[in-house]
Amino acid sequence: MSWIVREDGFRKERITTNSNKFMIGNGYMGYRGTMEEFTKSELTATTLAGLYDKVGDKWREPVNAPNGLFTRIQCDGSVLSVLEAEPLEHEQELDMQHGLHRRKTTFSAKGDNRVTVLSERFCSAERLHLIVNRITIHCSKDCELLITTGIDGDVWDINGPHLERMVGQVEDNCLVMKGWTHELNQPVSVVEAIECNFGEKTIITEEQSIYRQIVVQYRAGEKYTFTKYVSVYTGMDEVENISLAAVQSSLEALRVGYAQLFLEQAVIWNRKWEMSDVTIEGDKEAQHALRYSMYQLHIIAPEQSEKVSIPARGLSGQVYKGAVFWDTEMFMLPFFLYTQPEVARNLMMYRVHTLDGARRKAAEYGFEGAFYAWESQETGDDACTLFNVNDVFTGRPMRTYFRDKQVHISADVVHGIWQYYTFTGDESILLDGGAEVIWECAKFFYSYAYYNSRKERYEVLDVTGPDEYHERVNNNAFTNMLVKQTLFVTIEVMKYLQNKNPERYEIILSKEQDGITLEQISHMYDHLYVPQPDQDNKLISQFDGYFKLEDVSLTELKSRIMNKNEYLGGGNGLATTTQILKQADVILMLHLFKDRFDQETKQANWKFYEPRTEHGSSLSSCIYALVASDIGSPDWAYPYFMRTATIDLTGESKQYVGDLYIGGTHPAANGGAWMAAVLGFAGLRYQGDDVIISPALPEKWTAIEFPLCVRGQSYKVCVSKEEVHITSHINNTNTMLFTICGQSITVPGGQEITAPYNCIIQT
Amino acid sequence: MSWIVREDGFRKERITTNSNKFMIGNGYMGYRGTMEEFTKSELTATTLAGLYDKVGDKWREPVNAPNGLFTRIQCDGSVLSVLEAEPLEHEQELDMQHGLHRRKTTFSAKGDNRVTVLSERFCSAERLHLIVNRITIHCSKDCELLITTGIDGDVWDINGPHLERMVGQVEDNCLVMKGWTHELNQPVSVVEAIECNFGEKTIITEEQSIYRQIVVQYRAGEKYTFTKYVSVYTGMDEVENISLAAVQSSLEALRVGYAQLFLEQAVIWNRKWEMSDVTIEGDKEAQHALRYSMYQLHIIAPEQSEKVSIPARGLSGQVYKGAVFWDTEMFMLPFFLYTQPEVARNLMMYRVHTLDGARRKAAEYGFEGAFYAWESQETGDDACTLFNVNDVFTGRPMRTYFRDKQVHISADVVHGIWQYYTFTGDESILLDGGAEVIWECAKFFYSYAYYNSRKERYEVLDVTGPDEYHERVNNNAFTNMLVKQTLFVTIEVMKYLQNKNPERYEIILSKEQDGITLEQISHMYDHLYVPQPDQDNKLISQFDGYFKLEDVSLTELKSRIMNKNEYLGGGNGLATTTQILKQADVILMLHLFKDRFDQETKQANWKFYEPRTEHGSSLSSCIYALVASDIGSPDWAYPYFMRTATIDLTGESKQYVGDLYIGGTHPAANGGAWMAAVLGFAGLRYQGDDVIISPALPEKWTAIEFPLCVRGQSYKVCVSKEEVHITSHINNTNTMLFTICGQSITVPGGQEITAPYNCIIQT
């Protein structure tokens, strides 16, 4: 059952949570796990990747397409809906193995009639524009059914409505609903073709919707099945006539039929899991949660486009403006990098394509180079506003500095590209624009940093680090460390380019009007201040003056809260004057640069910062898990791992900041769960030389097995408490050096080796 | 009547305001204008200059001495107090000419008895420890009077009580009340000797008080007069036994008698006015208000001590912790400098004596040199707390950055010393410690500033300028300009010292462990960025990014206010994200450096910033008046001048910020009124070469006359609309160059000249 996510019974208060939990998607679009009879008040949404719209001065956000999966069934005049009356039975489940959503409800209808509705749907992984939905109805008594099914264009929007001039019509026996976005006049078409060999059909057209009504004289005991083939096209797709393309897509699907379409789906999903699935022995709960985390990543991965990346709430709606944050590089990228490097490449190429937006942002603030958007949409311009949260006490918008001061984003992008390049050895990423991104980010930091003449060093001032409760600080250790890495990478890449592609090298440098030179970058690299561990207690100050802040316990801080939704950061937030942090900050640095700090330093800082972390971000727990594993304390890590891996299963995450709804799925935590398991407990890492495995398994795990794709070679790695077993794929041509608990082992292509060890830190 | 400030009738709601308005003082102590029968609930206070105390973790503030002027009169058993019943008649007045407070009240007593109490009191300007109080009682009927008079030790304190172990006793027929401060165990003694040749006297001792009860069988029509000679000594005074000294002082006063003591008072006050009084022809209201402003400065001037300076609320109580702010250098110093340079010297020597405190503050923040206290008390350590204002919506203390970021204070101190030196030519200020202060302040700024490698300039980052509604800004024009001046002054002074006193020069430099060199200071001076007027519109940006803030009208901003006491600055203050400023900032810079900016620039900026200024500080209006005069618009200036000059007469100033009481007198505004009149309308200035007079009189002023003391020479200057008349004092030995409306005139010692002019900007 570890492939199935399931809930029995229906509870109204779980609608929002379960619609996130039971999402399906294919990277092109996400479809929330709502019931067929739901409308916008239950937050139905078909969220489109990369298509954004802005209405008036409201926030710019992704567009939800008209809902092609709307179906309402009436039996002898009464509506069968979980919203109307408590169903006799209800179950909702997700078949993660195939990306399939299933819902089965038994309603009580007139005259003791038991009506069971089974609905199955999937976003086709083979045909990205297509959603397929098959509905089967079974009644215990003779009755008259009235089925209303079609396209509901009156969709949920946070800052909409986004589609205007909506037109519904019928073409080639398909329902077509088309509208245009406000801001850019982009068309969106949704088309439904239906396979339904029963009943009398009538077309109903409403202002924003188009339906078929199907009237059926039902005979007890029979099964009635119909299938909807819904296609979505937008102006972003490179087709001439999007409605025509959608009609063709739906008619083609109709022709192919449900069974064959599902087979295609199964083949692709099988491949996804083959490349990524992790099995855990000895812990079914962890196994289930980890697999679910990977499922969430698979349904939103932009497998076929390098123009979009993954938003912070995936494709679960319009929360956070559907924007791409640092979450992608720091929390999601590793999963793809180690399992599906081509997706990782797409994610990084998105940054190349949005370089101009980052250049505009830098220029807007008076800096050189590229200052990447804190909240990036399709152009790379920053969707982040200066006022992000409302003060719960006054209702006034609060000035926050996410947009202005989280400069680490440019370093995160460079880190991502460098990770990709190091891991895959794929030089094309540099030549296809990556080198330029890196150079522009270095220039940005050179123009952002200041030189302290007194201390003879560069400093990075007035920034916000990952811990957003402390805005506008100086010399945030994490930020400075990443800036230093950016400069290092820049020097390396420019050296590489000068050798490998002197023309490109000259082109990049010749573009410089501002005259920042590689010598200046080098000088800054040599003299950039990065806060170091204290000689005595080994603690690293999160930023200048951090240790002078009030040292209050989290319990005490929480007792000061007057309104449960009050924001702890911002102007007067309760945490801002204390040592309480929102999320891993120094600890994240210790994870990213684990080789540069000794165990004592990592341990001291973990112990210091852990009780001071409020985990107000879903990005926090996995990092504490990772570093706990690294310092040989997997059982400190385990609760953090589980908290991360179950976040979208339980739905127990922060839903509001101020009066701002921030619910939805959490792909960064999903990625974090994978990291905690594979990079943390299994202790895997690769930085261009050997594959290192330093396991620290939780007590009840007897083994963990996972695939690995590195430098074009595929492996299966199984880490148990006694040994590491490595299978080099039969097609591998290269030999790879593995270092297992410090011992080097060469694994030739196509062979298997077993490396027993004694030195694993047991718990 | 322009020497008299008077109010008729008694209104309870005016108690606090009038107690400020009718203050007396002598620089050693201030005595609030309360009635003799008042106690701490009416905020009676004898506020001592320079003696501070701290109780627990409450704010450190000046000590109020026991109230030696307490007198309660009962007539036939009923208490005669304005608090008990409305008096038949009541008047309160201040004789500004002599620093005398007078109160006359007629009470209705039993049996249609009209009892009139006349009380006169003054803080002796000759004998700084002494307050004299003469009370005369007249009744219309025979009656029994019970007079309770003595020392009330149960005094008003904001963060007290400050005196403990209080002991009352009688010595040499004097009442003695002694107590010790909490923190430093400093003793405070108040002694009263009485001249009273009637009645039966009994001593009453209470826990914190000691009184005499005088019982009189009063015969209708007679006048009974008694006089109290109250002396105050503290552990700060250099005497061995403070109670003994106080007893001797009171007995000596008793021997000398009221008439002679008042004569002494008149002589000294006569001299004060001779050196300072300004007469305005054609505007009685302005005349009165300006004189009153000077009166307020005279009663708090530290004439005989260079260890204390003038607190922001004078000696009117404990508001603002009795602390010395930049107010002294920037708003009060000029009055003393132009009229009583020896007081100006004391004010500046206070900064020399508190240099070590400023050094400690710099070190505390990790900087070199001297970072002067934002709120300075006797040691120069900063009394300013990190949380200054409570949020009215939550009641929580708000983090503010007055202490950390108003670095301009160190430049203000240097400006003050430089002003003093330039004006007087008194080199001793430099040799007595001034040079060291200047050098330390320069070092502070060198360590505080950063070098922008990209722009090849030093910048002053993360500061709060005079406009405290915008905290933590970069490159505040005012601050950068003053820092630049500090560096200039440092170079000049060190050059001077090297020539004049090479030993001292070597000593100052040899103290350097930190190795900051004069070359480095010079380099910073040459490359320090100071925001300049825009080439097109001439506007100077108050700080980096100011023009990007919301450009909202003051009316609109005020309409957003939800609680009348809410603070507009701080974390989430309404003004912080807008262009609305608390007080003159750029405009203050244009005043201080008026020679460096052309008229067009001054005009453009005045017009731009004036409608955007909320005048949330009493320091603001006078600066707008000064610059309006400077640009030839005295009638724009006039309302600002009057607002400044009447602030303590009307009492119409901000009384609360959040829930913090900030009432009291406003010596900075008092000094500002003088500046607006003499430096503004009369257009006087002296910067070491010639005395410049560029008048711009308000419409109804026909002339303004004032004394002037410059470089040891005394003058009387009369500016009318047709001419300037200058009288060089008979004792003057030197010739002085005057420049009147651009025309140079030499005025030999002891002579009078009249300079008619045509070029004055008439309105």
Reported as a single tens digit per residue, the pLDDT across B18-71 is 999 999 999 999 999 999 999 999 999 999 999 999 999 999 999 999 999 999
The pLDDT of residue B118 is: 98
> Could you say which of B658, B681, B704 is where a domain stops?
B681
Whether B282 and B703 have beta carbons less than 8 Å apart is answered as yes
Residue B547 domain-assigned (yes or no): yes
- Which residues on A lie below 8 Å from B452 (Cβ)? 450-451
Tell me if chain A has a CB within 8 Å of the CB of B571.
yes
What mean pLDDT is predicted for residues B412-420? Answer: 98
Written as six digits, the tokens of B313 are: 């609320």
- Which residues on A lie below 8 Å from B391 (Cβ)? 572
Residue A53 domain-assigned (yes or no): yes
Residue A51 domain-assigned (yes or no): yes
Lowest mean pLDDT among B124-133, B540-549, B754-763: B754-763
Q: Quick one: B262 and B400 in the same domain?
A: no
User: Min CA distance, B569 vs chain A (Å)?
Assistant: 10
Written as six digits, the tokens of A382 are: 């920053």
Residue of B nearest to A447 (CA): B454
Out of A398, A454, A520, name the one closest to residue B572 (CB): A398
Residue B571 domain-assigned (yes or no): yes
The pLDDT of residue A762 is: 38
Helix (H) or strand (E) holding B216: strand B209-218
Beta bridge partners of B693: B684, B740
Q: Quick one: B111 and B92 in the same domain?
A: yes
Query: Which domain covers residue B356, as residue numbers?
Result: 277-681
Whether B427 and B420 have beta carbons less than 8 Å apart is answered as no
Q: Quick one: B336 and B241 in the same domain?
A: no
Tell me if chain A has a CB within 8 Å of the CB of B563.
no
Looking at residue B463, the DSSP 8-state letter turns out to be B
3-class state of residue A166 by DSSP: strand
Specify the amino acid at residue B217: Q
Residue A281 domain-assigned (yes or no): no
Residue A294 domain-assigned (yes or no): no
- Which residues on A lie below 8 Å from B405 (Cβ)? none
Is the CB of A451 less than 8 angstroms away from the CB of B446?
A: no
C-alpha–C-alpha distance, residues B384 and B241, integer Å? 33
Burial class of residue B89, CB neighbours in 10 A (0-12, 13-18, 19+) = middle
Is the CB of A454 less than 8 angstroms away from the CB of B368?
A: yes
In the predicted structure, residue B1 carries a pLDDT above the cut 70: no
Q: Quick one: B558 and B625 in the same domain?
A: yes
Residue % of chain A over a pLDDT of 70: 98
Number of domains chain A is built from? 3
Q: Quick one: B614 and B665 in the same domain?
A: yes
> Could you say which of A625, A653, A681 is where a domain stops?
A681
C-alpha–C-alpha distance, residues B525 and B515, integer Å? 17
3-class state of residue A219 by DSSP: coil
> Could you say which of A634, A654, A681 is where a domain stops?
A681
The pLDDT of residue B507 is: 82
Whether B64 and B5 have beta carbons less than 8 Å apart is answered as no
Q: In angstroms, how far is CA A282 from the centroid of its own chain?
A: 28
The pLDDT of residue B662 is: 82
Tell me if chain A has a CB within 8 Å of the CB of B395.
no
Q: Quick one: A743 and A623 in the same domain?
A: no
Out of B387, B446, B451, name the one closest to residue A450 (CB): B451
Residues A216-259 have pLDDT tens digits of 999 998 999 999 999 999 999 999 999 999 999 999 999 999 99
Q: Quick one: A671 and A694 in the same domain?
A: no
Out of A386, A562, A572, name the one closest to residue B572 (CB): A572
Helix (H) or strand (E) holding A188: strand A187-195
Per-residue buried b or exposed e for A408-436, using 16+ beta carbons within 10 Å of the residue's own CB? bbbbbbbbbbbbbbbbbebeebbeebbbb
Residues of B serving a catalytic function are: 468
CATH number at residue A723: 2.60.420.10
Closest CA to B58 of B176, B166, B157: B157
Q: In angstroms, how far is CA B759 from the centroid of its own chain?
A: 36
CATH number at residue B108: 2.70.98.40
Q: Quick one: B266 and B293 in the same domain?
A: no
Tell me if chain B has a CB within 8 Å of the CB of A546.
no
Residues B483-532 have pLDDT tens digits of 999 999 999 999 999 999 898 888 888 766 668 999 999 999 999 999 99
For residue B366, what are the CA distances in angstroms to A528, A543, A548, B448? 19, 14, 12, 9
Residue A283 domain-assigned (yes or no): no
CATH number at residue A408: 1.50.10.10
Positive or negative, the Cα torsion across B351, B355, B361, B362? Answer: positive
- Which residues on B lie below 8 Å from A475 (Cβ)? none
Q: Quick one: A691 and A673 in the same domain?
A: no
In the predicted structure, residue A1 carries a pLDDT above the cut 60: no
Closest CA to A363 of A474, A514, A523: A514
- Which residues on B lie below 8 Å from A574 (Cβ)? 396
Helix (H) or strand (E) holding A670: helix A667-674
C-alpha–C-alpha distance, residues A580 and A559, integer Å? 13
pLDDT-derived band at B757, boundaries 50, 70, 90: confident
3-class state of residue A663 by DSSP: coil
Residue B442 domain-assigned (yes or no): yes
Q: Quick one: B150 and B173 in the same domain?
A: yes
User: Min CA distance, B377 vs chain A (Å)?
Assistant: 24
C-alpha–C-alpha distance, residues A355 and A306, integer Å? 13
Residues that constitute the known binding site of B for substrate: 326-327, 582-583
What mean pLDDT is predicted for residues A494-505? Answer: 91
Is the CB of B454 less than 8 angstroms away from the CB of A396?
A: no
C-alpha–C-alpha distance, residues B52 and B376, integer Å? 11
- Which residues on A lie below 8 Å from B449 (Cβ)? 453
Q: Quick one: B256 and B290 in the same domain?
A: no
Is the CB of B459 less than 8 angstroms away from the CB of A446?
A: no
Is the CB of B520 less than 8 angstroms away from the CB of A571?
A: no
C-alpha–C-alpha distance, residues A268 and B589, integer Å? 70
Out of B451, B454, B576, name the one closest to residue A453 (CB): B451
In the predicted structure, residue A511 carries a pLDDT above the cut 80: no
Q: Quick one: A644 and A692 in the same domain?
A: no
Residues B258-281 have pLDDT tens digits of 999 999 999 999 999 999 999 999
The pLDDT of residue B656 is: 73
What mean pLDDT is predicted for residues A640-649? Answer: 96
Tell me if chain A has a CB within 8 Å of the CB of B655.
no
Out of A368, A386, A453, name the one closest to residue B454 (CB): A368
The pLDDT of residue A179 is: 97
